[in-house]
């Protein structure tokens, strides 16, 4: 076999740890609290079947032909209406992962600094590793990013997850949002506001987005993956017209446009009122599951483990005593029948070894208690030992 000559960036894409973990965690008999996927029972299957029929009947070949890179008009209009922006500010993307990729593509030169929270969403790191940026980590607490820790020098991009952060579940309060927006203006930088979970609040609705607070300094990423279904692979970016236009050019070179059929289906679902119903239904289910999970955590986890109740979303983040290494502990956990995601996966610098992420949405409710019990035994051993 020839030895193929890959680009330098290809070496930065490999992430053998995560791949290995994912394989391990799928072993039979393992209760996985590791997933990052929505609860499949929320998917509106009959409604999607009906919307598919309606989309073909109404749109006919236009639902199946090449279509504008920016997205189908009625879907852009729906998104614009919901988010209080103009349709020209909306780019439909192949999931919000593609929004992250397009932002890297349009903005990042080699060595450019990207500010990220610690911890942060690993998919963003994967997307931007391709463009060889450097990460600058800013600490967070139970209320998200600490504005006082923001630097005086402008990064090229500053990546913030204000609503029910992945992995911590925290929500950035209104005051901090104002501070972050003021900082972006002061140092002259662009905020990337990633908001896959905004509709999944357990208490009050979140405060107004960063995008609302400083529209000319924010690219906001949204998705239908957590509310309708990830298999449609449709999300969106909202930003200043000029940036959306640049991202559309970048997207044209990447995949021409996102699937038109799914866009037409979403436009029909929107008209049918299904999307709003899904938001309520999903949020209620996840709220209940979070409560169950928190009850079990309180009941079973040993002293020395702490967490903040998630304010929404899909995850809870555990912090363990300094000496515990959740990466090293993972194999033992799987042997004892439970999987989680080790903290370092969410760290741009590979830190956070004494933390881990659990999901409460995709594990069957009747397995949750046993999963937490198994985890508790593993952690007891590690903390005691």
The residue (of 15 and 319) whose beta carbon lies closer to its own copies is: 15
Stretch that binds its own copies, among 81-89, 170-178, 193-201, 236-244 (CB under 8 A): 236-244
Stretch that binds its own copies, among 10-18, 23-31, 161-169, 313-321 (CB under 8 A): 10-18
Q: For its own copies, which residue of 89, 98, 278, 282 counts as binding (CB under 8 A)? A: 98
d(CA 208, CA 219): 14
**Count of residues binding its own copies (CB under 8 A)?**
77
Interface with its own copies includes 76 (CB under 8 A)? Answer: no
Stretch that binds its own copies, among 59-67, 139-147, 286-294, 320-328 (CB under 8 A): 59-67
Interface with its own copies includes 23 (CB under 8 A)? Answer: no
CB 83: neighbour CB atoms within 10 A? 18
Interface with its own copies includes 267 (CB under 8 A)? Answer: no
Interface with its own copies includes 188 (CB under 8 A)? Answer: yes
Burial of 232 (0-12, 13-18, 19+ CB in 10 A): buried
Q: Which residues of 277-294 are buried (b: 16+ CB within 10 A; e: fewer)?
A: ebbeebbebbbebbeebb
Stretch that binds its own copies, among 167-175, 244-252, 299-307, 326-334 (CB under 8 A): 244-252
Omega within 30 of 0 (cis) for the link into 79? no
**Least distance from its own copies to the Cβ atom of residue 268, Å:** 12
Q: Which residues contact 72 (CB under 8 A, 6 or more apart)?
A: 92, 260, 263, 264, 267
Interface with its own copies includes 255 (CB under 8 A)? Answer: yes
Stretch that binds its own copies, among 243-251, 318-326, 329-337, 371-379 (CB under 8 A): 243-251
Interface with its own copies includes 384 (CB under 8 A)? Answer: no
Omega within 30 of 0 (cis) for the link into 341? no
**Least distance from its own copies to the Cβ atom of residue 310, Å:** 21
The residue (of 105 and 311) whose beta carbon lies closer to its own copies is: 105
CA dihedral 265, 192, 178, 284 (to 10 degrees): 40
Burial of 188 (0-12, 13-18, 19+ CB in 10 A): exposed
Tell me the sheet residues that pair with 180. Answer: none
């Amino acid at each position: 076999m020839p030895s193929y000559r890959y680009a330098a960036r290809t070496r930065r894409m490999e992430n053998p740890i995560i791949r290995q973990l994912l394989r391990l965690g799928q072993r039979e008999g393992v209760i996985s609290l590791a997933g990052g996927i929505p609860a499949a029972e929320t998917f509106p299957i009959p409604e999607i079947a009906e919307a598919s029929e309606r989309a073909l009947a109404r749109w006919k070949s236009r639902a199946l032909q090449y279509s504008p890179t920016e997205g189908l008009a009625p879907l852009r209009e729906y998104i614009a209406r919901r988010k209080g922006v103009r349709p020209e500010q909306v780019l439909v993307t192949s999931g919000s992962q593609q929004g992250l990729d397009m932002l890297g593509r349009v903005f990042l030169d080699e060595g450019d600094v990207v500010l990220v929270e610690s911890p942060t969403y690993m998919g963003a790191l994967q997307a931007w590793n391709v463009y060889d940026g450097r990460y600058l980590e800013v600490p967070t607490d139970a209320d998200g990013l600490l504005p006082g820790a923001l630097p005086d020098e402008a990064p090229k991009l500053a990546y913030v997850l204000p609503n029910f952060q992945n992995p911590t579940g925290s929500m950035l309060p209104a005051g901090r949002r104002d501070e972050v927006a003021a900082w972006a203006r002061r140092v002259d930088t662009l905020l990337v506001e990633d908001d896959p979970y905004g509709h999944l609040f357990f208490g009050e609705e979140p405060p107004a987005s960063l995008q609302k607070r400083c529209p000319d300094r924010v690219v906001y990423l949204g998705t239908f993956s957590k509310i309708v279904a990830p298999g449609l692979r449709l999300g969106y970016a909202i930003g200043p017209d000029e940036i959306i236009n640049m991202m559309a050019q970048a997207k044209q070179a990447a995949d021409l446009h996102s699937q038109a059929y799914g866009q037409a289906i979403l436009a029909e679902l929107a008209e049918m009122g299904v999307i709003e119903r899904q938001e309520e239904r999903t949020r209620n289910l996840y709220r209940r599951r979070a409560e169950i999970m928190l009850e079990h955590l309180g009941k079973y986890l040993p002293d020395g483990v702490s967490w903040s109740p998630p304010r929404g979303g899909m995850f809870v983040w555990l912090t363990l005593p300094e000496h515990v290494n959740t990466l090293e502990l993972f194999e033992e956990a799987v042997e004892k029948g439970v999987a989680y995601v080790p903290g370092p996966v969410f760290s741009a610098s590979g830190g956070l070894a004494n933390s881990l992420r659990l999901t409460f949405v995709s594990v069957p409710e009747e397995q949750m208690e046993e999963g937490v019990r198994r985890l508790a035994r593993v952690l007891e051993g590690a903390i005691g030992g």
